[in-house]
Structure 1
Amino acid sequence: MAGDLSNVPTAGGLVTAYAAGTLSPVEAATAALEAIRERDADVNAFALVDPEQALETARAAERRWRDGTPLGPLDGVPMSIKDLFLTRGWPTLRGSRRIDPAQAWDVDSPVAARLREGGLVLLGKTTTPEMGWKGVCDNPLTGITRNPWDTSRTSGGSSGGSAVAVATGMGPLSVGTDGGGSIRIPAAFCGVVGFKPTHGRVPQYPLSSLAVLAHAGPIARTVDDVARLLDVLAAPDHRDPYDLGLHDGPYSRAVDRDVRGVSAAFSADLGFVRVDPEIAAAVASAARALQDAGMRVEAADPGFPDPLPAFDVLWCAGASKWLDVFDARAEDVDPGLRDVIERGLTYSAGDYLAAEAERLALAVRMGEFHTRHDVLITPTVPIPAFEAGHDVPPGSGLSDWAQWTPFTYPFNMTHQPAISVPVGRTAAGLPIGLQIVGPRHAEALVLAVARAVERAVSATDRSPRGTTAAAP
């Protein structure tokens, strides 16, 4: 299997073509659906595909473009949505056999509502580990989602299906969730761009039991497309009490901000992480390229110890609330999820409050750090994608998924915006991601620096060897 996505339009390319009349939303949706038919059997990115609804939505968008009345800047663009978001008319099974599909599915989450209002064409729902509980993507309902660069490897998770769909040209956009790295991990492993904006920037409903950690955000092949989709998603919704409300200007314009003179702290290891040498070299090279492009880059660690114990309390205690949703002790539940829930039940209210106090102290520490450095640059994940079907790298001696992704979960605890951008590949051809973290509410700055990374790092082939694609 070999392929090239260079001729497949981005979301920005599609809307330009729609406006010029050289391509229609129906043609784009048809091409995306054909890509799903051709490729998804190899990677298992979709839990549900609805060609009839997609084409009906695309035909309505086609009429609007023809009449010069598009609903928004991404009207008619085909995309997918993770199977953790309520989506009217489709079951939201969350990768679980314990959720009954035969019930009324008549409510849209804020994410699904904003996408419909913007005229985007929903192709289907992407895979997730059961309840989105871990950093890889397999579940009892749909099985293993595989990395398109090497299908023996994991896609990462929990938004693995979304990252794989984008990486293989099965729609240029997707939306994922991120409670400990779940957008950025698969983005790094699959060679795409994944953005976790400030907590509350993209409203959610119903709130996850992990609401203090959970974010929602866009996944795309380019920073420009991520910014375009964030413009659609970052709209107020009264159902989310963490909703940040209106924001400053369109993010799609922020990507072209001049970042010369921006101060970046480059931390190769946060002071406590062991990083694969190939990943360390690629990220350091990208940091030097940013310096050559005019940013002020200096080595600096935030100076906090690994907050994994506190994260574990917040994560597992939150997960234990899933007992209210389904029988998590049933035999057809992911055994790892059962263990996390059981561990969560052992924590007391005092344990939770102590972990929350540590989370808040970490947020204050990072706020002070950003008075000296505009952004923080790190690797996204310290290891390349490992063998699929495992929660931790085989032979690593690790016991929990979060142990192998120490660059991501701290910034769920602090609620900061963080993005993963591809910056190269290992000798084995596996993608490498660089993470940019900014102060809370600094989405525009993070996007601008991410776009600078795209410009500064010499272009690497972002097309998985396991895809074949052509322009519609």
Structure 2
Amino acid sequence: MHVADERPRMRLTWCHRFACHDAVMAARAGPVLQTAEAVRTRRVRAVDAVEEALRRIERLDPALNAVVDLRAEQAIAEARAMDGSTPLGRLCGVPVLVKDLEDVAGMPTRKGSVLLADAAPAQRDGLAPARLRAEGAIVVGKTALPEFACEGFTANLLTGVTRNPWALDYSPGGSSGGSAAAVAAGMVPIATATDGAGSIREPAAFCGLVGIKPTHNMVARRPLPDWIDLSTDGPLATTVADLRLLLDILAGHEPGDPDVAPGQGIRGGGTHPALPTRLLVGTGFSDGIPLPALVAAAFEQASAEFAELCRCPVERLGVGQPVERDELVDVWFTLASAEHVSALGRDWVTEGLDRMHPSAHSFLADALTIGIDEYLAARRRRFDLSRAVDDLLGADRLLATPTVGVAGLLAEGGPHPDDPDGKIRDNVYVNFLQSVTGHPAITLPAGMCGAVPFGLQITGPRYCDGWLLDLAAHWEREHPWPQAAAGYEPFRL
């Protein structure tokens, strides 16, 4: 380990073409808080907000393919009913898109799969849509994802390829790629997301958004996710204030989940200092594969700036710290893939393999070979990995890594064009760790990395989600980022 007390003083900047972007100087409340306040004070009608979202989707989505289904008539009717009453809730009148992994009553949940193209409409809202709607949000449609959410780019055989609004040749990431693209393009103020291996953090990073994977058991599970102990609902947003509000709405107990403590909203897990005592810096725990030059340069600058912001010493982690990557990936894959086959049904998976996208086919075909002893051994090994990260972070240390170990992925699922071996590198996905161990992690917009934005990932001790949001707000004040991709306008009324 190497500890450095002196850090270069650098200032992160967005590429000069964004220097005059009006969103940089906009109020940091963001479109969620702004829209809700406008409807609550009757400055605008809820129907105005919904119709504006539908107009933006109609105009912008053909180039991005982020939205896969709409409920326009129902949304307008709900908005008119709200306008005829007293607007209530922290999200009153705010249009929302829902990732098509989550249930919305009256809409099919197709999960990006041709095998579910004729799925029956859901009978009940999933937890995230239900909690958002309880606060007055209005669902206008659904967003794209890779088939069964098992890939880091958003493309499937049912709805096609989803593109990044920052650079159309590139993917917005996955699996919440459609949601991130829609928010970054200003189609809606809110689009829901889930994270079982970086599926909030990676799309947020590639689309210039802030996103948080909460501490596991901060947000209850309903219905039970396919990856039982790995996947969680969580928010992504254009500003930290919006992100904090959304997490506070999503967080809390739900009958039937035995692992979530009673109560609602963001809760603390102990006393933390205003600033960390040390920033641990690692490159993703790969087995010696270096980061691409663009990513390494962006990460060095961003992590140095974050350390300076926190006024704390830096400790550089070596390869294999805090856990060996091969061990981590093996535990994650064994748990996630075996649970996915069980959730879908072994016979159903076997019969449908040949109709799946190559990524889903590979993931689930390999899972069919996992036996009960191997699965249970992985569950036990997860506790050792979690203990290693608990010991590393203690109560007052933070871990900085790149959110993604590549300067973008091509929209169709290919590697970065600068990758010399012509395939996606083994160390691209550096965010399995927090999904296995359950620690909270936030991705912060930190400038550009080639054609797409770069995200700095900060991981903290369990239940320090509020602390991470406080530090993110401090970062945002010092390094404001655009509230929409270049060439797009933030959602405003």
Q: Report what 1:55 is aligned to.
A: 76
The 1:368/1:355 distance shift into structure 2, 3 A limit, reads same
Deviations 1:318-371 (A, max 9, x none): 232223584454333112212221211212222222222221111011111122
* Shift of residue 410, structure 1, vs aligned partner: 0.9
Structure 2 alignment gaps of length 5 or more:
1-17
Alignment match, 1:280:
296
How far residue 100 of structure 1 moved from its aligned partner, in angstroms, is 5.3
Three-state SS of the structure 1 residue aligned to 2:169 is: strand
**Correspondence for 2:6:** none
Deviations along 1:27-48, whole A, 9 cap, x unmatched?
Answer: 2222211110111011111111
Aligned residues: CA RMSD: 2.8
Q: Kindly indicate whether the alpha-carbon contact (under 8 Å) linking 1:82 and 1:159 is maintained by their aligned counterparts in 2.
A: yes
Farther off after superposition, 322-331 or 371-380: 322-331
| Paired amino acid for 1:320 | V
Cα offset, 1:220, TM superposition: 0.9
Whichever residue aligns with residue 368 of structure 2, its letter is: L
- Counterparts of 1:122-141 in structure 2 under 5 Å? 122-141=139-158
Match of 2:369 among 342, 346, 354: 346
Q: Which residue number in structure 2 is paired with residue 362 of structure 1?
A: 385
Residues 167-190 of structure 1: CA deviation (Å, up to 9, x unaligned): 000111121111111111111111
One-letter amino acid of the structure 1 residue matched with residue 295 of structure 2: I
TM-score normalised over the length of structure 1: 0.89
| 2:131–2:249 Cα contact (<8 Å) kept | yes
Letter in 2 for 1:438: G
> Is 1:304 aligned to 2:323, yes or no?
yes
SS of the aligned residue for 2:314 comes to strand
- The amino acid across from 2:263 in the alignment is L
Q: Report how far residue 157 of structure 1 moved.
A: 0.2
CA gap of 1:372–1:205, structure 2 versus 1, over 3 A, is: closer
Provide closer, same or farther for how the CA distance between residues 58 and 290 of structure 1 changes in structure 2, counting only shifts above 3 A.
same
Which of residues 290, 293, 297 in structure 1 aligns to 2:309?
293
**CA–CA distance in 1 between the matches of 2:106 and 2:291?**
44
- 1:262 corresponding residue in structure 2: 276
1:444 aligns with 2:466: yes
Displacement of 1:275: 2.1
Report 1:65-84 matches (<5 A): 67=86, 70=88, 72-84=89-101
> TM-score by structure 2 length?
0.85
| 1:371 aligned residue | 394
Residues 16-25 or 205-214, more deviating:
16-25
Corresponding residue for residue 409 of structure 1: 432
Name which of structure 1's ranges 160-169 and 365-374 shifts more when overlaid on structure 2.
365-374
Partner of residue 323, structure 1: 345
Rounded to whole Å, the distance in 1 between the matches of 2:279 and 2:490 is 38
Q: Show CA shifts across 1:368-422 (max 9, x none).
A: 1122643212110111112111265576658778x34442101100011111111
User: Residue 150 of structure 1 contacts residue 466 of structure 1 at CA under 8 Å; is this kept in 2?
Assistant: no
**3-state SS of 2:355 partner:** coil
Deviations 1:74-131 (A, max 9, x none): 2211111111111101110111111253535212211222122111011111111111
Structure 1: give runs of 5+ residues left out of the alignment.
none
1:242 is the counterpart of 2:259: yes
Contact preservation (8 Å) 1:167, 1:463 = yes
- Give how far 1:236 is off: 1.9
Take 2:470 and 2:110, find their aligned partners in 1: how far apart are those partners? 36
8 Å CA contact 1:4, 1:469 repeated in 2:
no
Between the aligned residues of both structures, percent identity stands at 31
1:59-208 matches, within 5 Å, as 59-64=80-85, 67=86, 70=88, 72-99=89-116, 101=118, 103-208=120-225
Cα distance between partner residues in 2 of 1:93 and 1:210: 17
Deviates more, 1:115-124 or 1:285-294: 285-294
The alpha carbon displacement at 1:471 in A equals 3.5
Deviation at 1:281, TM superposition (A): 2.9
Read off the aligned partner of 1:442 and give its amino acid letter. Answer: C
* Cα deviation, residue 285, structure 1: 2.7
Structure 1 361/119 Cα, relative in aligned 2: closer, same or farther at 3 Å? same
Whether the aligned pair in 2 keeps the contact of 1:50 and 1:124 (CA below 8 Å) is yes
What residue is the counterpart of 2:56 in the other structure? 35
Shift of 1:249: 5.7
User: Which residue identity lines up with residue 390 of structure 2 in the other structure?
Assistant: G
> Which residue identity does 1:465 align to in structure 2?
A
Q: Contact conserved, 1:319 with 1:340, CA < 8 A, in 2? A: no
In 2, the alpha carbon distance for the partners of 1:369 and 1:231 equals 27
Given that 1:92 and 1:101 are in contact with CA atoms closer than 8 Å, whether structure 2 keeps it comes out as no
CA separation of 1:247 and 1:114: change in aligned 2, threshold 3 A: closer
Within 5 Å, which residues of 2 pair with 1:205-224?
Answer: 205-224=222-241
Distance 1:277 1:460, change over 3 A: farther
Structure 2 counterpart of 1:10: 31
Aligned residues: 460
Cα distance 1:271–1:50, how it changes in 2: closer, same or farther (>3 A)? closer
CA contact (8 A) 2:176 2:199 kept: yes
- Following the alignment from structure 1 to structure 2, what is the Cα–Cα distance between the partners of residues 247 and 440? 17
Aligned residue number for residue 385 of structure 1: 408
Classify 1:465/1:408 alpha carbon distance in 2 versus 1 (closer, same or farther; 3 Å): same
1:419 paired residue number: 442
